[in-house]
Amino acid sequence: MKLARKLTFALLVGMCAVLAFHAHLQLEREAEFYEEDTKGDHLHFGHAIADAMREVASVEGEAAAARVLARVNEGGNPVHLRWVALGPEAGPAPASAPPEVLAEARAGHDASWTDRAAGRVYTYVPLALPGRGPGALELAESLEQQRRYSWTSSLQIVAATGAIAVISAGLAFVLGAWFVGRPIGKLIEAAQRIGAGDLAGRVDLRQRDEIGELARAMNAMADHLAAALEQLRHADRLATVGKLASGIAHELGTPLNVITGRAMMIRPGDSSAEEIAENARIVVEQSERMTKIIRQLLDFARPRRPEKAPADLAAIARSTIHFLTPLAEKRRVELALLEPGAPPTASVDAGQIQQVLANLVMNGIDAMPAGGPLAISIAAVRARPPEGRGAPEGRYFRIDVRDAGAGIAADVQQHLFEPFYTTKAPGEGTGLGLSVSHGIVREHGGWIAVDTAVGHGTCFSIFLPAEEAGVMEGRECAGVS
């Protein structure tokens, strides 16, 4: 049940309980008041009639008093009067009331009793008639009218309570949905977005209450997470640069040697003008080559803001291969790119995708300690995102990174994308590569799939959303058999 509905329901139950309790007390008080009022009327009326009967009996005899009583009972009087004997000769049940009430009357006091089962009130006014022994005037009146009144009041209270409940429930529901349900819904959406790795969205709530504070705290948390994530990615890039360092140093050695040799040949007097020009050209060319290698490395390591723009995935793969070739050669791994037919253009952050490719290629290199082939291929496919992503089948670019290494055992496979999970020796792996790559690809609306066979090799497939048409049907990652 939604929170707003729960609050409305709780409010409604509480309100109905208070109103019902109040109505019950009020009806009880009214019933008591009515009864007391009736008894008071009976006493006034009873004493007046008793005095009259006593008078008539003393002057005209007991039969005349009985006639007075009969006349009083005529004419639709709601109170029925009769004289009841209370002496020992009266028998076991001379009057309607229980013995203790009659004992009061016999002792000369006024007495009253309510027969709840029959719904009648009885009042006894002591009245001894000459020749008939001790007795009392019994006044009996039905409570039917009071019960009808109570019933009508109950109905009115129920109707009023119902109307109040409906109006209050409507108001509480609308206000609850607006002040609680709607902002909580936004917070849930934001939490789900953050859980799915989208740290860019913000919760827009301007409420100055606890929910508004929670929204602001969530936005601050997303900012901190984004900053921490960027630091993690930067650390992963620096770790890659560290691994490449010795290969790069080696790569710079050759042009440096060429530059030194050619510079020495430029000494005046040793060479002709043409030879000097040629040597100078070679020095410039080799310097440019070194500058390019260093710029590539700096570009890769530099912290930067992620920015998506249409980019050729094949060009990114090509530059990654170029960038990693010194390391691969040192490890006797042959890098190859199977060029796609049409240029696969996707809206991506080129630097981030290069980071993902570098991680996968370096994992492949590490998986082949004795060297071997490592191929990158790109294809446009129709594919269905993994369960739980809530995205329909669509067009994607699939970049396969395929090695002929040791493969991945089942117990390692379940931890592959966990941050800091590594099977490498301390100092050789941070365990960040795949988790960082997973986050980057996810932020691009894609995912990474693994196909591996122990002893045969592994194929990591990066799926990235493709815009344009011209898609071939998705085929399984080839190369791992």
Ligand X SMILES: Nc1ncnc2c1ncn2[C@@H]1O[C@H](COP(=O)(O)OP(=O)(O)OP(=O)(O)O)[C@@H](O)[C@H]1O
Q: Please give the residue ranges that form the binding site for Mg ion (CB under 5 A).
A: 363, 433
CB of 432 to ligand X, least distance (A): 5
412 near ligand X, rule: CB under 6 A:
yes
Contact region with ligand X (CB under 6 A), list: 90-98, 288-296, 304-312, 419-427? 419-427
439 near ligand X, rule: CB under 6 A:
no
* Choice between 260 and 423, CB closer to Mg ion: 423
Contact region with ligand X (CB under 6 A), list: 50-58, 164-172, 306-314, 406-414? 406-414
Residue of the chain from 403, 462, 464, 474 that contacts ligand X (CB under 6 A): 403
432 near ligand X, rule: CB under 6 A:
yes
Contact region with ligand X (CB under 6 A), list: 69-77, 126-134, 263-271, 426-434? 426-434
Binding mask 119-158 for ligand X (x = CB under 6 A): ----------------------------------------
CB of 197 to ligand X, least distance (A): 16
423 near ligand X, rule: CB under 6 A:
yes
Residue of the chain from 23, 52, 239, 301 that contacts ligand X (CB under 6 A): 239
364 near ligand X, rule: CB under 6 A:
yes
CB of 296 to Mg ion, least distance (A): 20
Residue of the chain from 416, 441, 466, 477 that contacts ligand X (CB under 6 A): 416
CB of 329 to ligand X, least distance (A): 19
Distance between CA atoms of 257 and 261, rounded to whole angstroms?
6
Contact yes or no for 368/331 (Cβ under 8 A): yes
CB of 344 to ligand X, least distance (A): 22
Distance between CA atoms of 239 and 270, rounded to whole angstroms?
47
CB of 362 to Mg ion, least distance (A): 6
* Choice between 111 and 416, CB closer to ligand X: 416
434 near ligand X, rule: CB under 6 A:
yes
Q: Which of residues 458-477 bind ligand X (CB under 6 A)?
A: 458
- Tell me which of ligand X, Mg ion, none is bound by residue 332, counting a contact when its beta carbon lies within the kind-specific cut-off of 5 to 8 angstroms: none
CB of 332 to ligand X, least distance (A): 16
* Choice between 279 and 452, CB closer to ligand X: 452
Contact region with ligand X (CB under 6 A), list: 140-148, 248-256, 385-393, 430-438? 430-438
287 near ligand X, rule: CB under 6 A:
no
Residue of the chain from 326, 429, 439, 445 that contacts ligand X (CB under 6 A): 429
Handedness of CA 387, 463, 327, 430 (dihedral sign): negative
Residues that bind ligand X (CB under 6 A): 239, 359, 363-364, 367, 403, 405-406, 408, 412, 416, 421-424, 429-435, 458
